[in-house]
Structure 1
């Protein structure tokens, strides 16, 4: 179905959410030097992310995945909403107006660690919310997948990361359920 990569700056949100492969259980953040490697790959080395930042970053990742799953239809669980509220409260944004008068939300100066990463994620979401881009960042409905993808379909009603794998499996399960076959 084409490119499922989110446009910048939502790509940071997508890539953070996809640091855990649910199907294989492989977690890039908890691997040795995983958080440092993620920060390096995304130009976030100035945040000073350390091992003590891992728990809130993992919490952020899981809450973001839940929010992206809510974009496909299921409601955002209350616990995930509370987690996002708590993490975002510690990651303030400020309004920046550039020389041409354009305004954008940016992380407050001096934020480091998990709060600095959370603020960058919040700024990315805020920047994409107005044009509907945030709503198009979705998690695959398949329970054993939940890979976050960017829905580029004209109607914005995609439910699976790929129709060839997860969508096909879901349709086959539905067909078997209707037919009464295992």
Structure 2
């Protein structure tokens, strides 16, 4: 859906997971073996991955100033609480959260990405498109951080056209 560059660093994983579901068409790449393999998931892991995906979408919608019933950022907090992480300290003394195992569960890799993005100030820039039939995740690179749509050419144009038509109908 989106014509933007992928999110930086670990946020690309978060963005990719949220975008496994195309809300408009209903296509879910987690239904395919290739889609599951992209996240290191077995078929039995898919329900938990979907729950995590929708909780992440809720956080992305919140970052964009939108609320969506059934997609509470509090659900994400609950899901991340069980992520096995540890604090690693590098030779230069820098500390970071890391999954307890390099091939650990998806929730640990997501938690690591969120922690790193929160630390560097990029987490709030991962947003979800305001269009109800889209909610595609995108990284907001605008200077003011106020992007509203994943694609100005598609979702933005549709929203502006609806506003234009509503205004014309109201005045005509």
| TM-score of the aligned structures, taking structure 1 as reference length | 0.83
1:99 pairs with one of 86, 91, 115: 91
Alpha-carbon distance in 1 for matches of 2:165, 2:52: 37
Q: How far apart are the structure 1 equivalents of 2:86 and 2:138?
A: 28
Q: Which of 85, 103, 108 matches 2:77?
A: 85
Which consecutive aligned stretches of 4+ in structure 1 deviate over 4 angstroms post-superposition? 76-79
Residues 149, 156 of structure 2: 8 Å contact kept: yes
Q: How many Å separate the matches in 2 of 1:132 and 1:25?
A: 32
CA distance in 1, matches of 2:10, 2:55: 18
Which of 91, 95, 117 lines up with 2:106 in the alignment? 117
Q: What is the correspondence of 1:135-174 to structure 2 with a 5 Å cutoff?
A: 135-174=124-163
Aligned length: 169
Partner of residue 50, structure 2: 58
Q: Deviations over 1:7-60 (max 9, x none)?
A: 11110000011011112211100124531x213xxxx4xxxx322211000100
Secondary structure of 2:47's aligned partner: helix
Task: In structure 2, list runs of 5 or more residues that go unmatched.
Answer: none
Equivalent-residue separation in structure 2 for 1:81 and 1:111 (angstroms): 26
Task: Return 5+ residue gaps in structure 1 as ranges.
Answer: none
Q: Secondary structure at the match of 1:130?
A: helix
